Amino acid sequence: MKNILIPTQLQQDTISAVKTAAGYSGGKKCDIILLLVSEVPESYSSAYMLRKMKHELAPSQAKVLQNCRSIAAEFKNCTLKVHNQYGISAPLLRNLTEHFSIGLTILAPSYKTSQNKMHSYLLQLLLNSKCPILHLGTSETYQDFNKALYLEHTSSRIQVEDLQSLVKEQFSFRIVSQAKVHNELSAEALNPMLTEAISKNNIDILIETRKPEKIKLRRKEGNTSHLSLGLPVLSLYEEAI
């Protein structure tokens, strides 16, 4: 069992992410890494750096962290660790994921909507990484995923059989249905179709694949309307399949 990375601002939905990580571990030994990313201080004097890099949490953040520690403590196989990262780049992220043996990244809604430049940049780096990413849904409780709907983007060349084999190796759920997703379709056109498939097949998680993209300060996303359906979405890097 590889370890799990959770980039966080220590908002309330971090608790849901930790619950999901602990449940996903399946009783196997697992480190849950809470990653807090900040900009590098302007001054590089050792004394200033020590003062600047002392991570002080707001009372609400400290409470969330304590709740996360309590949840992890309930699972004897899980260890919660906090990593403060000052500055981030593709090589730094790669070294970090290798150092902690990361096998899954969990993204909470609050992190994806953060206006912080460092958070936005890290998010783009993660989307270009080969690590599987689980986008959390709206539920605040851990859900045991069983049935998945594969969202097949028109630009994808992945065969559902290959995807099914990968999912079977790494996860406990299975793909029971698939739907083609056209990027030009609006949410009004796409969501009713997906909602019907979700209801008909008792779907509790969605699966999609992603490709590397050039990182931009303001990147135009593809069709992500399915993220508004409230279900978690597992995103797999196509070149890793």
**Domain 147-240 annotated CATH 3.40.50:** yes
CB 31 within 8 A of CB 6: no
Of the candidates 237, 234, 232, the residue with the CA atom closest to the CA atom of residue 210: 237
CA–CA–CA angle 236, 9, 29 (5° rounding): 55
The CATH code belonging to domain 3-135 is: 3.40.50.620
Give the bridge partners for 6, in sequence order. Answer: 34
pLDDT at residue 134, rounded to an integer: 96
Sign of the Cα torsion 106, 111, 112, 116 reads negative
pLDDT at residue 223, rounded to an integer: 45
Q: Which residue has the tokens 């084999």?
A: 165
Residue 203, amino acid: I
Which secondary-structure segment (H or E) carries 133?
A: strand 133-135
Q: Rounded distance, CA 102 to CA 160, Å?
A: 25
Extract the tokens encoding 118: 């460092």
Positions in the chain short of pLDDT 70: 1, 41-55, 140-142, 183-187, 215-228, 241
Where in the sequence of the chain do the CATH 3.40.50.620 domains occur? Answer: 3-135
CB 209 within 8 A of CB 159: no
Helix axes 59-74, 13-24, angle to 10 degrees: 20
Residue 225, amino acid: S
CB 72 within 8 A of CB 80: yes
